Amino acid sequence: MNLKGIDLKGRSFLTLKDYSKEEILYMIDLAAQLKAKKKRGEVGHLLEGKNIVLIFDKTSTRTRCSFEVAAFDEGAHATFLTNSQMGKKESIEDTARVLGRMYDGIEYRGFDMKVCEDLRDYSGVPVFNGLTDDDHPTQVLADFLTAREHLDKPLDEMKMAYIGDGRNNVAMALMIGAAKVGMDFAIGTPRELFPSEEFMSLVDSYASESGSDLMVTTDPYEAVEDADVIYTDVWVSMGEEDKMEERIALLRNYQVTMDLMNATGKKTTLFEHCLPSFHDLETVVSRDVAAKYGEKYDLKSGEMEVTDEVFRCPRSVVFDEAENRMHTIKAVLVSHLTDKR
């Protein structure tokens, strides 16, 4: 674990496009170190005197809790800003200029990446992307740390397969991360949901440097061949709820089942999911989907992107990922707000 020679202090964490392989691995290594420190019961002081403001235009469980606990663990204070004037009675620029005089860092979770960029440009302090429509970089760090913990081999010796909506923010963020670190990565998705040619050209340029092998296919079984990790996400992202039946019709044959897990040819293949997941009837949304579309699309069980059998199986590491959101976000905060280690 080499934590020397990398300096990220003062930078904004908006997308893994902005980071080298060495910098990404540095953040993952630092997260592992901070996780071990917390497990030992050591009180952290690396962010003492720092103040961070959290702005959420989308709902959240893991991201909000992760940023707050990560900050508190190392001595920082976090403000969860609700009902602000930003974008309503006050411009993003003016809000950023105000917050930048009070806080050492700003987290934003919402729709448009431009809000993150404007907050960065006008606040004068590091800004952290907690999720936007096109990217989810903190999730990727947690997913990679989790895979490394369980598979006990370098990321550039792994293959990950993403099954589902190939254009959503998690799929694209994972492909960016994989292409940067040299991980093989495949997406199994309907042709209508292929990533754009522009995006593929960008990640192919990263892959040519790292040695990553990238694939997009309509065949989920081709995508998962020899995969160390199978990953999926909900079929309808936040803000697209009106497309529920359209996505169900497109993705019904892209559900992660035990048959698909076994098709990798490896008994050690992990299942990952960023959560929340629709794998049973224990949510309002899954019950509503079952009531409206269960008969037509055979979804009476509430199982959508993954079966309950896979979600609960021993190879499912979804709750390890959820915990690792906090440890990797802590690494991002520590590395970007201070030079202390």
Measure the CA–CA gap between 253 and 251, rounded to whole angstroms.
5
Give the residues across from 105 on adjacent strands.
52
What are 83-87's contacts with CB under 8 Å, separation 24+? Answer: 84/55, 86/55, 87/115
3-state secondary structure of 297: helix
Query: Strand, coil or helix: what is 34?
Result: helix
Q: Is 131 left (phi over 0), alpha (psi -120 to 50) or beta?
A: left
Tokens of 208: 């040519």
* Beta-bridge partner residues of 53: 79, 106
For residue 242, what are the contacts with CB-CB under 8 A and spacing of at least 6? Answer: none
What distances in angstroms separate CA 70 from CA 10, 19, 46, 338, one per listed residue?
Answer: 18, 22, 11, 14
The 3-state DSSP class for residue 135 equals: strand
- The set of catalytic residues is 109, 136, 139, 233, 274, 325
Sign of CA dihedral 97, 66, 228, 217: negative
